[in-house]
Structure formats: C-alpha cells, structure tokens
Amino acid sequence: MLKYKREHMNNCSCEKQRGDIMTHKHDHAHDHGHHHHHGGGKRIGITILLNLFITVSQVIGGFMSGSLSLLTDAAHNFSDVIALVISYIANKLSGKKYTANKTFGFKRAEIIAALINVISIIVIAILIFIEAIERIGQTPEIKGVMVMALAGLSILLNGASVLIIQKDAKDNINIKSAYLHLFSDMLTSIAVLIGGALMYYYQMYWVDTLLSIGIAIYLIYVSIQMLLETLSILMQFAPPNINLDQLTDRLCQNDFVKNIHHIHAWQLTDREIHFEAHVAFNDDLSLSLLEKGLDSLKNEIRKSGFTHITLEPELDKCADPKRIADCGTPTE
C-alpha cells in the first residue's frame, strides 16, 4: 500500500506547484527488446551440447573413481542441461506473436522457466546435502587423478558456456538463471579440482564429503536472490528500484491534476514494466489539451523506467466518493 501525504488523503487533491501544461511529442515507447531471442536461443543450444558432454563424463568418472563430489558436480551439470533446455524453449515461446486470446503472447514463459530453474537448483542441493551427511565418518579410497581430470574438463567447458551466454544474461532473467547455473557449476568444479589434488597427494579423502556439503550450501545461497526476484515478478509487485510515492508526488505537481488513484505498477517480464492509473483533472479540457496533459505525465513516468503506460483521464473525480480519505491510494 502506498503512503501519501496527509493533505492528499483529506481533500483528494494534489498540491499545486506548477503552472502551464507541458507539451511533449507523443511516444508510447513500447520497445520490449525482442531482438534478444534468436541469437540467445542459438547460444543456449551450444551450451546444452557442452553440458551434456560434461554430465556424461562426470557420471562415468564419478562411479569409476568413487567420488561423491564428482557425482555431485555431475548432478549440478545435469541440472544445467535441464535449465538450458527450459531456457531454450522459453526463449522461443516468448518470441511468438500475440493472438486474440493471448494478448501478451508467451512473454511470461521466460519468468516461469527462471522459476523452474532456480527451484531445480535448490532441490538438487538439498539431495546432495543429505547424501553428504550420510557419508560423514566414511573414508572410501578415491581416485584423485580422475577427479582432477574431469573437474578440469568441467571448468574448461563451463567457462566456455559462461562466456557464450554472458551477454544475453545481462538483460534477460531467463538466460540469467541459466547463466547462474553455469557460473556456479564452474566454481564448484574448481573446488572439486582442489579436492582431487588433496586426495591424490595427501590421501585426504574426507575432503570429498566436505566439498559436497559446501557445494550444496553454496547452491542454496546463490539461488535465494534469484528466487525472490522471480517470485516478485510473478506476483506483479512493483519493481524494487522504483519509488511510487516520489513518482506520484512529481505527477501531482502539475496544476491540471486534481488527484491520481487506482495506481498499479508491475513487471510483465524482466524488461517490460507497466504502469496504470486514473488521473482526475481539475478542468474540463479540450481533447487536444487533454492529450498534451497526458503526454506530459507519461514522459515523467517514463523517467522511472516504465515501458508501457496506461492513464485513464477523469474530471474532478475521486477514487471512491464514499471513502474520500482513501482517494489517492490504490483501491484495487
């Protein structure tokens, strides 16, 4: 619920601090960045093949060497494959055209894919943690050379995968979640490589169990922020970096605005941010003046990062005449 100044609540009006209606060129600015889809999909396809090779190699090597940490890394790599496949499918779906009954197309497919990816990391991490705990006290002999060789292979190929999709991950939460999978797996493979060296040179086989526990805790930790970000978008919360109180205060400084209510701000995707509100005008303006006033407000709203803006003009009206104290606050 937004917080508003007391004077906004009592008289259902905005403080007058500006004079004339500003005139601006009308521009909807509905660029949703579709140019990411095709190139990103091709690069994801390459990383899928690389991680399939890593996974098969580490599973075989894990059983042959007796290393739980190597099997743990293989499980993580397999989650990478699943994450990348989901990301690839979502990447293609999100580029589909709108239809009469799917007016937003499949844009949310990328957010859902990101949620599945993050949850898969957490589930795998919990399973790894349980298996590692059960191994405490056991010190089976492990072939350190094989562990080092396969961990090194994983570092090399995961590093290549990270570089391949790094650019696309900067502004796409779906590919960013896949990027997180790959980058975290590269880091865990480094730990497995060090562990393999300790086991080979110093027969410190207990390090294998310790590494598995550490990797599991790390995977859960790095997933929490992504999970919260994804859930925030799915719940249609306002973006955390946007202060709606300050924005509405700036809009109310226009002297033609009586009040602003039914305010909603949400993210459709990680790149598309929507804003809608009802704007009550003080005067019965002509259509041309009304458009200029709305353009002035839209240009101010765009400064906060919104890409899709819908404003419904009203004349000298409160959100709910029976609840005048609530005027200026969201009622839906």
Q: pLDDT, tens digit, for every residue of 260-313?
A: 888 999 988 767 899 999 999 988 888 899 999 999 999 999 999 899 999 999
- Name the residue among 65, 176, 15, 157 with its Cα closest to residue 111: 176
Let me know whether 104 and 133 are in one domain.
yes
Q: With 0-12 CB in 10 A as exposed, 13-18 as middle and 19+ as buried, what is 324?
A: middle
**Which of 202, 234, 266 marks a domain boundary?**
234
Looking at residue 269, the DSSP 8-state letter turns out to be S
Let me know whether 250 and 321 are in one domain.
yes
| In contact, 48 and 85? CB cutoff 8 Å | yes
Let me know whether 67 and 190 are in one domain.
yes
Into how many domains does the chain fold? 2
78: how many CB neighbours lie within 10 A of its CB?
19
Give pLDDT, residue 327. Answer: 37
Extract the residue ranges of the chain whose pLDDT is less than 70. Answer: 1-41, 91, 94, 139, 171, 174, 270, 316-332
**In the chain, how long is the greatest CA-to-CA distance?**
85
**Which of 201, 234, 267 marks a domain boundary?**
234
Give pLDDT, residue 128. Answer: 79
Measure the CA–CA gap between 275 and 298, rounded to whole angstroms: 10
Q: Which domain holds residue 62?
A: 34-234
Residue 331 within any structural domain of the chain? no
Residue 140 within any structural domain of the chain? yes
Let me know whether 26 and 51 are in one domain.
no
Measure the CA–CA gap between 268 and 270, rounded to whole angstroms: 7
Let me know whether 79 and 217 are in one domain.
yes
pLDDT tens profile 150-194: 999 999 998 998 888 888 777 677 677 778 778 878 887 888 899
Give pLDDT, residue 317. Answer: 64
Evaluated on CA atoms 131, 136, 140, 141, the torsion sign reads: positive
Residue 186 C-beta-side C-alpha neighbours within 13 Å: 16
Give the Cα-Cα-Cα angle 263, 265, 270 (nearest 5 degrees): 175
